[in-house]
């Protein structure tokens, strides 16, 4: 009996996978970029941002949570799926307060880089301009809720790697927001430290180190030389 090879087809190309890998993990390892924001190979798959939406055997799902199986027919880079991704990005931009030219994360921001890569030319929807708090109580980090996209990467990093459970999400729908586990609710009164893994995983400018803003000039930033789909973060997440 011939063993079934551990491969699936992604946009017409054969992708090898190891048992237990998700479609997203196998694709990125093979050098095939699928847009994503909330996924990180270090943490439990979450499936919240929906940017890694793919069509598998004519059914849609999130590539970060769908297991790779032999013989799957997966579509990712199609006009329809990229249109949906642009719409999701537009919604993320208008639900938060993102002003890229004045943000220290500009050039290193995955939300911004994906908008460029997917040719999101405008926000389309009306901005909400919700009042959100900025927490500057910590000696080493700012927590700017205006830029938070509720990807929960900091939540998972704090829980699964740091073992601290510093961050969480409270509220639902438009009221969902990041909260801090401390007596006062302030980051400065929590056990969060600049050496935590949670301090490094934010894909936008919601968690920013103090005293190092704009340290890399334009042209030397992560996504200045090549789009996100052609950078090393397509295979390994930025540390």
Answer yes or no: do 106 and 58 share one domain.
no
Answer yes or no: do 170 and 119 share one domain.
yes
Structural domain ending residue among the three candidates 43, 77, 111 = 77
Q: Is 173 left (phi over 0), alpha (psi -120 to 50) or beta?
A: left
Answer yes or no: do 120 and 205 share one domain.
yes
Residue 28 falls inside a structural domain: yes
**pTM value?**
0.91
Mean pLDDT, residues 26-34 taken together: 95
Answer yes or no: do 133 and 182 share one domain.
yes
Residue 160 falls inside a structural domain: yes
Mean pLDDT, residues 123-130 taken together: 87
Answer yes or no: do 62 and 116 share one domain.
no
Q: Which of 24, 25, 34, 17 is nearest to 69 (CA)?
A: 17
Question: At 54, which CATH number?
Answer: 3.10.20.740
pLDDT of residue 1: 40
State the residue range of the domain holding 69. 7-77
Per-residue pLDDT reduced to its tens digit, 50-108:
999 999 999 999 999 999 999 999 999 999 999 999 999 999 999 988 989 889 999 99
Answer yes or no: do 109 and 15 share one domain.
no
Answer yes or no: do 148 and 193 share one domain.
yes
Answer yes or no: do 113 and 165 share one domain.
yes
Residue 190: CB atoms within 10 Å: 22
pLDDT of residue 3: 62
Whole-number Å distance between alpha carbons of 170 and 133: 14
pLDDT surpassing 60 at residue 230: yes
Residue 97 falls inside a structural domain: no
Residue 86 falls inside a structural domain: no
pLDDT of residue 174: 78
Q: How confident is the model at residue 128 (pLDDT cuts 50, 70, 90)?
A: confident
pLDDT of residue 54: 98
pLDDT of residue 137: 98
Answer yes or no: do 110 and 180 share one domain.
yes
Q: How confident is the model at residue 198 (pLDDT cuts 50, 70, 90)?
A: very high
Radius of gyration of the chain (CA): 19
Structural domain ending residue among the three candidates 61, 77, 93 = 77
Instruction: State residue 180 phi and psi, 5-degree precision.
Output: -115, 135
What is the number of structural domains in the chain? 2
Instruction: State residue 147 phi and psi, 5-degree precision.
Output: -105, -5
Residue 96 falls inside a structural domain: no
pLDDT of residue 232: 55
pLDDT of residue 90: 96
Answer yes or no: do 218 and 153 share one domain.
yes
Answer yes or no: do 208 and 106 share one domain.
yes
Answer yes or no: do 66 and 182 share one domain.
no
Q: Which of 218, 65, 89 is nearest to 149 (CA)?
A: 89
Residue 88 falls inside a structural domain: no
Question: At 194, which CATH number?
Answer: 3.30.70.20
Residue 235 falls inside a structural domain: no
Whole-number Å distance between alpha carbons of 216 and 33: 25
């Amino acid at each position: 009996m011939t063993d079934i090879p551990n491969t699936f087809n992604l946009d017409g190309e054969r992708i090898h996978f190891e048992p237990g890998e998700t479609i997203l993990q196998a694709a990125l390892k093979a050098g095939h970029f699928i847009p994503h924001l909330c996924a990180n190979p270090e943490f439990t798959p979450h499936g919240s941002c929906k940017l890694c939406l793919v069509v598998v055997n004519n059914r849609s799902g999130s590539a970060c949570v769908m297991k790779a199986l032999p013989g799957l027919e997966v579509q990712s880079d199609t006009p329809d799926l990229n249109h949906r991704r642009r719409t999701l990005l537009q919604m993320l931009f208008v639900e938060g307060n993102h002003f890229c030219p004045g943000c220290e994360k500009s050039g290193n921001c995955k939300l911004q880089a994906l908008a460029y890569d997917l040719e999101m030319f405008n926000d389309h929807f009306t901005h909400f301009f919700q009042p959100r708090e900025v927490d500057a109580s910590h000696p080493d980090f700012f927590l700017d809720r205006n830029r938070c996209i509720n990807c929960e990467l900091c939540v998972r990093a704090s829980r699964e790697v740091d073992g601290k459970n510093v961050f969480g999400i409270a509220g639902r729908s438009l009221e969902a927001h990041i909260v801090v586990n401390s007596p006062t609710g302030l980051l400065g009164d929590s056990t969060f430290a600049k050496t935590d893994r949670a301090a490094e995983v934010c894909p936008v400018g919601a968690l920013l180190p103090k005293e190092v803003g704009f340290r890399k000039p334009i042209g030397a930033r992560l996504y200045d030389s090549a789009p996100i789909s052609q950078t090393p973060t397509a295979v390994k997440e930025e540390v």
